[in-house]
């Protein structure tokens, strides 16, 4: 009862925070210049608890009020509109950027959110999952990153162990073991829609990039239904990236819609 009360009060101020962050996102451009310069990682003195002090540009990683990922718990039921996704196939362009395996997407695929168009730029993976549900992590999480006039929109998809995933296998087959430049596999097409679960029910909240510079410009959409991936597929990724997940951050005055 009391928690509900607090959440309701939080709702009013959370809306205010989200609105002001939306228009304060010009830092993303200046931050991206710095991105390649400061080394960061997931363990030791370059790990997540130090990100905020590694560079001035990363300050928001520790000082922010809307950081991601979060534990999806105490969510509020809301009348969320069905996802409007328009994805086309793209030639497979893959890179190991030292932090994850990333697939850069051909322009022309997009998500419509609150009437705005968000262009699909790339998707990449985390092991284990970054978001948690009721305190539990899943083996992996896929992030589809879209860019619009009002910041970024990222769709998170949980990957759980089960059947081998033939769509992911196209990416896994070309996975570079070490940090690499982008390579194009010209005779392989990939479809981002094939990586989504059938049920598109989702959580929604306002947050940040989960990697430095941790810019608070992200409309997060985390799909509830996980997609299956085999144990062997998880193992192959974890041999390249044993741990590339930022710990969950405080929800603070935000509120998590379901």
Active site residues: 99, 124, 126, 130, 143, 210
Q: Nearest 10 degrees: CA dihedral of 115, 197, 205, 120?
A: -50
Evaluate whether 256 touches 74 at the Cβ level (below 8 Å): yes
Query: Of 69-128, which residues contact Zn ion (CB under 5 A)?
Result: none
Are residues 238 and 119 in contact, defined by beta-carbon separation less than 8 angstroms? no
* Cβ closest to Zn ion, residue 143 vs residue 204: 143
Least distance (Å) from Zn ion to the CB of residue 133? Answer: 17
Q: Which of residues 129-148 bind Zn ion (CB under 5 A)?
A: 143
CB of 123 to Zn ion, least distance (A): 9
What are the CA-CA distances from residue 225 to residues 15, 138, 159, 222, 228 (Å)? Answer: 27, 11, 9, 9, 10
Which candidate, 225, 206, 227, places its Cα nearest to that of 217? Answer: 206
Cβ-based nearer residue to Zn ion, 57 or 141? 141
Two structure tokens written together for 33 = 């210049």
Q: Which residues contact 121 (CB under 8 A, 6 or more apart)?
A: 104, 105, 145, 146, 147
Sign of CA dihedral 212, 217, 222, 228: negative
| Residue with nearest beta carbon to Zn ion | 143
Judged by CB under 5 A, the number of residues near Zn ion is 1
| Residue 7 vs 222, nearer CB to Zn ion | 222
CA–CA gap between residue 213 and residue 211 (Å, rounded)? 6
Q: How far is the CB of 93 from Zn ion (least distance, A)?
A: 17
Nearer to Zn ion, 7 or 233 (CB): 233
Question: In whole angstroms, how close is the CB of 10 to Zn ion at the nearest point?
Answer: 26
Q: Which is nearer to Zn ion, 158 or 253 (CB)?
A: 158
Copy the structure tokens of residue 13. Answer: 């101020």
Residues with Cβ within 8 Å of 79's Cβ and at least 6 positions away in sequence, in order, are none
- Least separation in angstroms between residue 245's CB and Zn ion is 9
Q: Comparing C-alpha atoms, which of 249, 191, 190 is closest to residue 220?
A: 249
Binding site for Zn ion (CB under 5 A): 143
């Amino acid at each position: 009862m009391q928690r509900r009360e607090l959440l309701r009060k939080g709702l009013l101020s959370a809306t205010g925070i989200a609105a002001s962050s939306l228009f304060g996102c010009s830092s993303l451009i200046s931050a991206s210049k710095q991105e390649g310069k400061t080394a960061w990682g997931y363990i030791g003195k370059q790990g997540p608890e130090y990100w905020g002090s590694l560079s001035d540009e990363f300050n928001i990683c520790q000082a922010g009020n809307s950081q991601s990922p979060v534990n999806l718990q105490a969510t509020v039921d809301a009348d969320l509109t069905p996802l409007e996704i328009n994805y086309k196939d793209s030639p497979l362009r893959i890179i190991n950027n030292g932090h994850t395996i990333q697939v850069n997407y051909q322009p022309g695929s997009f998500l419509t959110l609150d009437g705005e168009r968000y262009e699909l730029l790339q998707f990449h993976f985390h092991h284990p999952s970054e978001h948690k549900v009721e305190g539990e992590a899943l083996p992996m999480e896929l992030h589809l990153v879209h860019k619009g006039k009002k910041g970024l929109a990222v769709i998170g998809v949980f990957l759980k162990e089960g059947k081998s995933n033939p769509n992911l296998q196209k990416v896994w087959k070309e996975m570079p073991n070490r940090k690499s430049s982008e390579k194009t596999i010209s005779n392989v097409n990939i479809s981002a829609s094939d990586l989504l679960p059938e049920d598109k029910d989702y959580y929604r909240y306002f947050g940040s990039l989960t990697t430095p510079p941790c810019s608070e410009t992200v409309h997060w959409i985390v799909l509830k239904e996980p997609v299956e991936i085999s144990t062997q597929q998880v193992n192959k990724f974890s041999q390249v990236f044993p741990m590339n997940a930022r710990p969950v951050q405080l929800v603070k005055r935000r509120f998590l819609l379901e």
